[in-house]
Chains A and B, each alone.
Chain A
Amino acid sequence: MNPTDTRNPDYFHKVVDCQWACPAHTPVPEYIRLIAAGRYDDAYMVNWKSNVFPGILGRVCDRPCEPACRRGRVEEQPVAICRLKRVAADHKSDIKSRLPAPVAQKNGKRIACIGGGPASLTVARDLLPLGYDVAIYDGADRAGGMIRSQIPKFRLPEAVIDEEVDYILEMGATRRFNTWVSSLKDILAEGYDAVFVGTGAPRGREANLPGRKEAGAHIHIGIDWLSNVAFGHIEKIASRVIVLGGGNTAMDCCRTAKRLGGSDVKVVVRSGYDEMKASPWEREDAQHEGVEIINFMVPKEFRHDAGRLIGVVFEKVKAEYDANGRRNLVPTGEPDQLLECDAVLVAIGQENAFPWIERDLGIAFDKWDMPVLDQVTLQSTAPRVFFGGDAALGPKNIITAVAQAHDAAVSIDLFCQGRDVRQRPAPHTNLASQKMGIHEWSYSNPVTLDLRHKVPTLDVAKALKSPKSEFELGFDLKLAYAEAERCFNCDVQTVFSSKLCIECDGCVDICPVDCITFTDNGEETELRTRLKAPAENMGQALFVSETLQTGRVAVKDEDVCLHCGLCAERCPTGAWDMQKFLLEMSHAGQS
């Protein structure tokens, strides 16, 4: 193998698994260390800069960081990264003075953001401090989009949404609320320099089965029903409820139904339990609250008696895998089963809908009726129209919407300044030694053996009676500190200088996870088999040094390195050093 080029920012970035996995590339270990140090304001600001909604995401993020967390590879459970983010938000003081103030001197460019959800708000936050005039359009009377309309209040209190949405609006956004945009042509006619479409995936997928129309009064589309609950239009549901679908919306539906009078709530899913799209923790929360999850059942018919819903008829299926490993659900041949119920919530997916975009504006749509976009710049085929969030590349999650909106804001800024939108600013990186003394490092390197701490919650019985009370109480500061100490500080990198190494084996002997080997160089697949511990995780890189004095190379398997720094402490020549790698994505206006 060639010597590893650690000057490429991707190398060390990839070692920070959580940050690499985060669509917005939030410097996770950096803010976790700040939380451990009690610097909640600073921890919040690191988040705010990167993901815009720390308080919101600290409760409802899809947390792609956690399955990536290195601790999950040496222990059962990753660090509770998401809930630590919430700690920063819950325990910060007033940080308003640290936010950008409204800009007095505008730059004369006007931007319209269609939809007031997380994507549009992120674009506004990135562009307002640069002097842009940003107008946010939304049909509701407040901004927030799906964060406000679809996520139940017991998971995300209104006050948290208001706070973080207001931080952005108070930077000087023009509020065009209670304004339903039904024509993009009209918006473009207003002479905006650029338009950002952040309208999400607002249409819940329909279950077109026999009886749907006749029993329609008792069958609701999940996201619409959640939104009606959120805005106070619905306060009750019948006692026996069936939720169709296995995603996070289905989980929100069943838990909400439990709180609005549903005593017998069942979630019925086509796939098996393990293949459900809902995050494991949301499934567990639902089951903890007494929701029954039934798998391998496909709905066939809404059974009714002259419009009065009797129940749903299901066909039983099983999973079979074809030669290509693709799963097919095939009927088991058992008789169909009727599950009786009084109401059905349909949460089987969301779709994009662009009936309001005229097709003669130069915006090309593909065969799935999605806009044709440049995947990097998110620019449509009409140069001044940009997309972001669920509206851009299909329904994903909030953190992806934020990341895409950052990218779109960069594009909009470059576009409005007459520059090439493809010339993207590189991320900012910094690499600094953490050595303070012979045995002192400026990070907490002892590795704790604590298992993941549980977030305290309300008593279930109480929670079900009080639909608006937040179910999770969040970590207290003691628990937060203990959980923060579980972080390995993967951003504190083991940096190796081949020239200094005397090949004494000190690092090899002390490494608790056997990740360092001195051996003859070879091809990667072969080299991986003859390390001190086999490097079988192909998703994790091997570091390979320059050729050393004995003709061998130092090889480090990044997979389960604990970043404890023992290699550097045992190194007599400082060939290993622990250096903090900080990568911050460039946002609009940065170069």
Chain B
Amino acid sequence: MTYLLKPKLHHPSLAPNALGYTRRDYEGAISTMCAGCGHDSISAALIQTCYELDMEPHRVAKLSGIGCSSKSPDYFLGNSHGFNTVHGRMPSVLTGANLANRDLLYLGISGDGDSASIGLGQFAHAMRRGVQMVYVVENNGVYGLTKGQFSATADKGSKSKGGVVNEDSAIDLCALALQMGATFVARSFSGDKGQLVPLLKAAFTHGGTAFIDVLSPCVTFNNHAGSTKSYDFVREHNDALNRLDIFFGKDEIVADYAPGSVTDVRQHDGSILRLHKLHDSYTPTDRIHAMRYLEERKALGQIVTGLLYMDATPNTLHDNLNTVEGALGILGDKALCPGQGNLDKINASLR
């Protein structure tokens, strides 16, 4: 937690992006998280991502629920839209906002309590409906705001700070997202921005439901020996599948990797995801393979990170509902009131 405002002065070499904004322009209010909280690193990764993607701040909407994670949207993208919803209800509010205005980029920020406990139902339905969004869970395995009780993502057998062993099974949000039909599923670690930033960039350009489970150690209640969500544990058990680069139309793609170790995936917007495979057998476009692999590795006590699965041509809620182009709020009278002739036609079709 910091009381001092971050000085506006910056490094002389800080460069503006295509829009003329520097990375510092994507920052928000000063964070009130505990010092060393993984959530702050995720905020920094989001700032870096939005800066590098030349995102217009006014075209981003950040929605969140309740919890440490859910207050973090205050600490980045200070010039974007924000909505702090009821506990666990971020997915439905975001779905509604998305239906009303499909022109914004939607970023849902949630935590393991918000998404895996009180909001589990909301989470599952948002995944299966194909709501176009980037859904980030800042996953620390504890209820930090209520002094560190186990959350639903805490691993069976892990120890609380007070020495209590968790006897309940853990919910694996990635596995659930895969099962529910999310079209982009990844897991990462707040302490590895080299992995997290490219994943976020890919998620923002994915065009469907992109879910990223980010392990984010709670320095205050869940960073001790016996925890499976501590900095040390995650680093020791991290089984990274791949490293990601993302290329846009004008970028030059330099192929300097041994054949077979690289897979290129073209996304719907023409951008190319280049995966440097760290596991030769892993194919991130095969959902069933992904689900099986997750379970196998979990049984070995490993934490699989990287891009788990993606569908390069995702279907979205708007596609399924065949909704009108553009935001509803700016539809003109003519579109909203198509006239007696059209009404008669519709009525006739229903007779």
Residues of A within 8 A of B (CB): 73-75, 438-439, 445-447, 449, 502-506, 508-510, 512-515, 533-534, 536, 549-550, 560, 562, 564-566, 569-573
Docked CA distance A565–B6 (Å): 10
16 chain-A/chain-B pairs, Cβ below 8 angstroms: A74-B12, A439-B1, A439-B3, A446-B7, A447-B9, A449-B7, A449-B9, A502-B231, A509-B43, A512-B6, A512-B7, A513-B10, A536-B13, A550-B235, A570-B36, A573-B36
Docked CA distance A570–B191 (Å): 15
Q: Could you tell me if A564 and B36 are in contact, using CB atoms closer than 8 angstroms?
A: no
Tell me the smallest distance from the CB of A404 to a CB of chain B, in Å.
35
Docked CA distance A549–B38 (Å): 18
Q: With an 8 A cutoff between CB atoms, is B213 at the interface?
A: no
Q: With an 8 A cutoff between CB atoms, is B63 at the interface?
A: no
Within 8 A of A (CB), among B178-194: 190-191, 193
Q: Could you tell me if A504 and B7 are in contact, using CB atoms closer than 8 angstroms?
A: no
Looking at chain A's contact residues, is the secondary structure mostly helix, strand, loop, or mixed? loop
Q: Could you tell me if B37 and A506 are in contact, using CB atoms closer than 8 angstroms?
A: yes
> Given B3, B36, B41, which contacts A572 in the complex, CB threshold below 8 Å?
B36
- Give per-residue flags for B14-35: 1 if the beta carbon is below 8 A from chain A beta carbons, else 0: 1000000000100000010011
Q: With an 8 A cutoff between CB atoms, is B44 at the interface?
A: yes
> Given B8, B31, B43, B191, which contacts A504 in the complex, CB threshold below 8 Å?
B191
Docked CA distance A512–B3 (Å): 15
Tell me the smallest distance from the CB of B34 to a CB of chain A, in Å.
7
Docked CA distance A74–B24 (Å): 15
Docked CA distance A438–B4 (Å): 11
- Give per-residue flags for B162-173: 1 if the beta carbon is below 8 A from chain A beta carbons, else 0: 000000000000
> Given B10, B13, B40, which contacts A506 in the complex, CB threshold below 8 Å?
B40
Tell me the smallest distance from the CB of B146 to a CB of chain A, in Å.
20
| Those 6 A-B pairs whose CB atoms lie nearest each other, nearest first | A572-B36, A447-B7, A509-B44, A533-B11, A504-B36, A439-B3
B: number of interface residues (CB 8 Å): 34
Q: With an 8 A cutoff between CB atoms, is B295 at the interface?
A: no
Q: With an 8 A cutoff between CB atoms, is B264 at the interface?
A: no
Closest to A439 in B: B3
Q: Given that A439-B4, A446-B4, A566-B2 are contacting pairs, would A506 and B9 also be in contact in the complex, using a CB cutoff of 8 Å? A: no
Q: With an 8 A cutoff between CB atoms, is B103 at the interface?
A: no
Q: Could you tell me if A572 and B219 are in contact, using CB atoms closer than 8 angstroms?
A: yes
Q: Given that A509-B44, A550-B235, A566-B4 are contacting pairs, would A572 and B11 also be in contact in the complex, using a CB cutoff of 8 Å? A: no
Q: With an 8 A cutoff between CB atoms, is B144 at the interface?
A: no
> Given B35, B44, B223, B231, which contacts A569 in the complex, CB threshold below 8 Å?
B35
> Given A446, A508, A562, A573, which contacts B5 in the complex, CB threshold below 8 Å?
A446
Which residues in B have their C-beta under 8 angstroms from that of A533? 11, 13-14
Docked CA distance A534–B5 (Å): 25
Q: With an 8 A cutoff between CB atoms, is B217 at the interface?
A: yes
Q: Given that A504-B231, A514-B14, A549-B232 are contacting pairs, would A564 and B7 also be in contact in the complex, using a CB cutoff of 8 Å? A: yes
Which residues in B have their C-beta under 8 angstroms from that of A549? 232, 235
Docked CA distance A334–B12 (Å): 43
Q: Could you tell me if B7 and A503 are in contact, using CB atoms closer than 8 angstroms?
A: no
Closest to B38 in A: A504
Which residues in B have their C-beta under 8 angstroms from that of A550? 235
Q: Could you tell me if A504 and B217 are in contact, using CB atoms closer than 8 angstroms?
A: yes
